[in-house]
């Protein structure tokens, strides 16, 4: 780890009010400034890598709100991830991690197959029964939480059903390749279908390579750098072989990771070229606002937007999704207070740190309540899962959609 990155933190505290866990605890150990100091002190030999120290660091959501807030360019979230990664990398993967990260995630077929029992479980009515009987209480808490987060799964993952090439509607303006996020494909396939449709409506030929693999973010988070590089190489090879204007994704988390490929394979020009082409779907749609406006039909709805950390803080995209929502005729857009504050999903954080995740989620739901809207739009599957659960429990009158799904509904004029 680069020591200068640590001493660049001048401890001014500008990050403190942006940090979700500091806002909940007011503890210096739960603040970006404190985390950087802890890592620095380990580096300087003043503190050991104690279990407690790692426990403190693990409270970080890596939402990177602190990076947006830091005037001197320190990224505490990234430093924490890097630090824990280095440490974990040295330890090797646990049996479970090896199973999931090496044998499941890199192979879409196996990953998809692993959800078959879950789909059956939902479809046979077993889920209803389990929930009614409270059988889940018998399982470890993390499993119970996972079960609670999972919405109804589509009959088949999108990757298996979507055409490899979706032609442009009308005159073709160019070609884009579509990066299918695992969670989008497995769970939010309707939103991704909408994404492809919007691109095609705007004149793009959309190529969705079937042999693409997971973006590698789960490997990164577990410190599995070899697995990460493997994923990067596979995707760079697959997408590098297709002429396209952009590589588009509608998953904020994947987008942030894909834009880092150049950094992950430092010195590899193809990885850098790959990253340079990556766009969040909102960036591409926002290029064609006038044409889109002409196609959209009125949706008389009140809507607000939650900024996913991976889109606002990691990719710096804030205006485009809002501009797109405002294109929809008769839609009343209301701004959300602290819209770019994390919802507590943060990858698998809501499973690892349920108590903190719930507090952060409740704060988010309270701000949504204050807007009085009917519908919440966002652009990342982790947020969709987390907020769907939060809304269902605390604010059931408010619905939630991916931005592209809402735009597609406006194409049809069906709210």
Partner 1 sequence: MEQSFIKELQTIVGDQYTLTDRESLAVYGYDSTPELESRPGVVLLPGSLSEVARILALCHGAGISVTPRGSGTNLSGGSLSGGGVVVQTSRMNRIVEVDEENLTATVEPGVITSALHREVEGRGLFYPPDPGSMNISTMGGNVAENSGGLRGLKYGVTADYVTGLTTVLADGELLHTGGKTVKDVAGYSLNPLLVSSEGTLGFFTSITVKLIPKPRAKITMLAHFPELNQAALAVSAIIAAKVIPATLEFLDKVTIKCVEDYSHVGLPLDVDAVLLIEVDGHPAVVAEEAASVEEICKRHRCSFFQTAKDADEALKLATARRTALSALARLKPTTILEDATVPRSCIAPMLQVIQETARKYNLTIGTFGHAGDGNLHPTCLTDERDKDEIARAHAAFDEIFDAAIAMGGTITGEHGVGLAKKRYLPRLVGESGIKVMRGIKQAFDPKGILNPGKVF
Question: Which residues contact partner 1 by CB under 8 A?
Answer: 4, 7-8, 10-14, 16-17, 26-29, 33-34, 37-38, 41, 46-47, 50, 52-53, 56, 70-73
Q: Give the pair of three-digit tokens for residue 324.
A: 């797109």
286-to-105, 282, 318, 326, 380 alpha-carbon distances in Å:
32, 6, 12, 11, 17
The DSSP string of 249-273 is: ES-HHHHHHHTTHHHHTTT-HHHHH
Contact between 165 and ligand FAD per CB under 6 A: no
Residue placing its CB nearer to partner 1 in the complex, 73 or 267: 73
Residue 193 to residue 102: CA distance in whole angstroms: 28
Residue placing its CB nearer to ligand FAD in the complex, 13 or 300: 13
Task: Choose the contact partner of 34 out of ligand FAD, partner 1, none; CB within 5 to 8 A by kind.
Answer: partner 1
Task: Choose the contact partner of 72 out of ligand FAD, partner 1, none; CB within 5 to 8 A by kind.
Answer: partner 1
Task: Choose the contact partner of 96 out of partner 1, ligand FAD, none; CB within 5 to 8 A by kind.
Answer: none
Q: Give the pair of three-digit tokens for residue 105.
A: 């995630």
Task: Choose the contact partner of 388 out of ligand FAD, partner 1, none; CB within 5 to 8 A by kind.
Answer: none
For residue 298, the 8-state DSSP code is P
Strands 278-280 and 302-305: unpaired
Range 267-326, binding ligand FAD (CB under 6 A)? none
From 3, 7, 12, 55, residue interacting with ligand FAD (rule: CB under 6 A): 12
For residue 223, the 8-state DSSP code is T
- Sign, CA dihedral 78-356-377-208, equals positive
Q: How far is the CB of 18 from partner 1 (least distance, A)?
A: 9
Name the residue among 233, 243, 244, 242 with its Cα closest to residue 270. Answer: 233
Partners of residue 279 on adjacent β-strands: 248
Q: How far is the CB of 70 from partner 1 (least distance, A)?
A: 7
Confirm if 374 and 399 have CB atoms less than 8 A apart.
yes
Tell me the Ramachandran region of residue 163: left when phi exceeds 0, alpha when psi lies from -120 to 50, beta otherwise.
beta
Binding mask 44-83 for ligand FAD (x = CB under 6 A): ----------------------------------------
Q: How far is the CB of 65 from ligand FAD (least distance, A)?
A: 17
Confirm if 241 and 260 have CB atoms less than 8 A apart.
no
Q: Give the pair of three-digit tokens for residue 57.
A: 């660091």
Residue placing its CB nearer to ligand FAD in the complex, 72 or 96: 72
Nearest residue to ligand FAD, scored by beta-carbon proximity: 12
Q: How far is the CB of 233 from partner 1 (least distance, A)?
A: 34
Strands 399-402 and 174-179: unpaired
Residue placing its CB nearer to partner 1 in the complex, 251 or 339: 339
Task: Choose the contact partner of 239 out of ligand FAD, partner 1, none; CB within 5 to 8 A by kind.
Answer: none
Residue placing its CB nearer to ligand FAD in the complex, 67 or 271: 67
Confirm if 216 and 275 have CB atoms less than 8 A apart.
no
Q: How far is the CB of 72 from ligand FAD (least distance, A)?
A: 10
Summarize as ranges the residues that interact with ligand FAD (CB under 6 A). Answer: 12-13
């Amino acid at each position: 780890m680069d020591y200068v990155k640590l001493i660049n933190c001048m401890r001014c505290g500008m990050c403190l009010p942006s940090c979700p866990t500091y806002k909940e605890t007011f503890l210096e150990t739960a603040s970006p400034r404190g985390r950087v100091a802890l890592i620095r002190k380990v580096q300087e030999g003043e503190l050991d890598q104690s279990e407690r120290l790692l426990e403190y660091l693990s409270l970080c959501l890596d939402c990177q709100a602190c990076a947006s807030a830091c005037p001197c360019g320190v990224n505490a979230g990234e430093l924490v991830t890097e630090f824990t990664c280095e440490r974990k990398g040295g330890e090797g993967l646990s049996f479970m991690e090896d199973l999931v990260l090496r044998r499941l995630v890199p192979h879409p077929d196996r990953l998809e197959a692993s959800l078959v029992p879950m789909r059956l479980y939902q479809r046979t009515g077993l889920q209803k029964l389990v929930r009614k009987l409270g059988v889940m209480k018998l399982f470890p808490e993390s499993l119970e939480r996972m079960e609670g987060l999972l919405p109804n799964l589509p009959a088949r993952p999108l990757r298996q059903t979507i055409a490899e090439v979706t032609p442009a509607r009308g005159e073709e303006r160019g070609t884009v390749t579509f990066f299918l996020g695992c969670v989008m494909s497995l769970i939010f396939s309707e939103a991704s279908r909408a994404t492809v449709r919007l691109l095609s409506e705007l004149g793009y030929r959309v190529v969705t390579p079937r042999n693409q693999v997971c973006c590698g973010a789960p490997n990164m988070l577990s410190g599995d750098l070899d697995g990460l590089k493997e994923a990067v190489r596979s995707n760079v090879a697959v997408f590098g072989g297709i002429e396209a204007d952009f590589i588009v994704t509608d998953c904020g988390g994947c987008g942030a990771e894909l834009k880092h490929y150049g950094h992950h394979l430092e010195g590899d020009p193809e990885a850098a070229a790959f990253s340079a082409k990556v766009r969040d779907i909102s960036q591409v749609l926002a290029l064609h606002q006038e044409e889109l406006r002409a196609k959209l039909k009125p949706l008389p709805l009140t809507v607000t937007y939650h900024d996913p950390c991976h889109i606002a803080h990691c990719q710096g995209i804030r205006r485009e999704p809002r501009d797109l929502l405002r294109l929809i005729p008769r839609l009343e857009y209301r701004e959300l207070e602290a819209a770019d504050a994390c919802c507590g999903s943060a990858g698998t954080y809501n499973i690892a740190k349920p108590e903190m995740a719930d507090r952060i989620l409740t704060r988010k739901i309270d701000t949504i309540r204050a807007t009085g809207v009917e519908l919440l739009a966002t652009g990342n599957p982790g947020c969709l899962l987390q907020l769907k659960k939060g809304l269902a429990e605390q604010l059931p009158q408010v619905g939630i959609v991916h931005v592209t799904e809402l735009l597609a509904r406006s194409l049809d004029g069906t709210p």
